[in-house]
Amino acid sequence: MSVNSNGPEGMVLGGRYRIVRLVGSGGMANVYLATDLSSGSRVAIKILKPEFSSDTEFIKRFDTEAKAAASLSHSNIVKVLGIGQEGGFRYMVQEYVEGVTVKDLINQNGHLDWRIAVPIAIQVGLALDHAHQNGIVHRDIKPHNIMISKERIAKVADFGIARAATSNTITLTSGGALGSVHYFSPEQARGALVGPASDIYSLGVMLFEMLTGSLPFDGDTPVAIAVKHLQEPVPLASGFVPGIPPGLDAIIQKSMQKSPEYRYASVRDFVAELDALMVDPSGAYGIVSQKRVQEASAPVSSIRQEPSYGKIRDIERSIDRRRASRVKDVILVVLLVTVIVGVLIGLAALIMKTIADSIDMPENTTFVVSNYVGRTIPEVIEEFKAQSFEQYEVEYVKRSGYAENVIFEQSLAAGTEIKKTSKLTKLVLKVSVPEDLLIIEEYREMDLEQAETLLKAKGFIVTTRPEVTDDYPQGKVIRTEPAAGTAVEPGSLVILVYSQETETVEVPELKNLTLATAEKIIDEHSLLIGQIEYTEAAKLLNENEQYVLLTDPVAGTLVSRRSSIKLYVGTVEDAQRGGTPTPTPTPAPYALNLFTDGGGTVEGSGIYLEGLAVTVRAFPAEGFEFKYWVDSTNVIVSTTSEFAYLMPNHDETLKAVFAPLPTPIPTPTLTPTPTPTMTPTHLLSLVVDGSGSVEGGGSYSAGVQVNVRAFPAEGFAFVKWVDSTNNTVSTTSEFAYLMPNRAETLKAVFAPVNSPDNHDSSSDTNSSLDD
Angle, vertex CA 552, rays to CA 548 and CA 556, nearest 5: 90
Strands 427-433 and 89-95: unpaired
Catalytic residue among 36, 55, 63, 140: 140
3-state helix, strand, coil in the chain (%, to 5): 30, 30, 40
What residue type is 379 in one-letter code? Answer: E
Facing residues of 615 across strands? 644
Answer whether 626's CB lies under 8 Å from 656's CB. yes
Give the CB-side neighbour count of residue 527, counting CA atoms within 13 A.
29
Alpha-helical (H) ranges within 146-279 are 161-165, 176-180, 186-190, 196-212, 222-231, 246-255, 267-279
Answer whether 770's CB lies under 8 Å from 711's CB. no
Element (H, E) at 311: helix 309-358
- Cα 708 to Cα 726: distance, rounded to the nearest angstrom: 17
Strands 636-638 and 652-660: unpaired
- Cα 102 to Cα 763: distance, rounded to the nearest angstrom: 9
DSSP assignments along 358-407, one per residue? HSS-----EEE----TTSBHHHHHHHHHHTT---EEEEEEE-TTS-TTBE
- Cα 286 to Cα 294: distance, rounded to the nearest angstrom: 17
- Cα 134 to Cα 136: distance, rounded to the nearest angstrom: 6
**CA-closest candidate to residue 641, choices 594, 678, 676:** 594
Facing residues of 438 across strands? 488
SS3 675: coil
Give the CB-side neighbour count of residue 657, counting CA atoms within 13 A.
12
Angle, vertex CA 224, rays to CA 220 and CA 226, nearest 5: 125
What residue type is 319 in one-letter code? Answer: I
Strands 461-468 and 493-500: parallel
DSSP assigned state of 172: S
Answer whether 607's CB lies under 8 Å from 108's CB. yes
Q: Measured in Å, how far apart are the chain's first and last C-alpha atoms?
A: 29
Give the CB-side neighbour count of residue 531, counting CA atoms within 13 A.
3
Answer whether 155's CB lies under 8 Å from 178's CB. no
- Cα 558 to Cα 467: distance, rounded to the nearest angstrom: 19
Q: 676 vs 63, 672, 679, CA distance in Å?
A: 83, 12, 9
- Cα 628 to Cα 636: distance, rounded to the nearest angstrom: 7
3-state secondary structure 83-117: EEEECCEEEEEEECCCEEEHHHHHHHHCCCCHHHH
- Cα 709 to Cα 612: distance, rounded to the nearest angstrom: 29
Catalytic: 436? no
Element (H, E) at 493: strand 493-500
Which residues are part of the catalytic machinery? 140
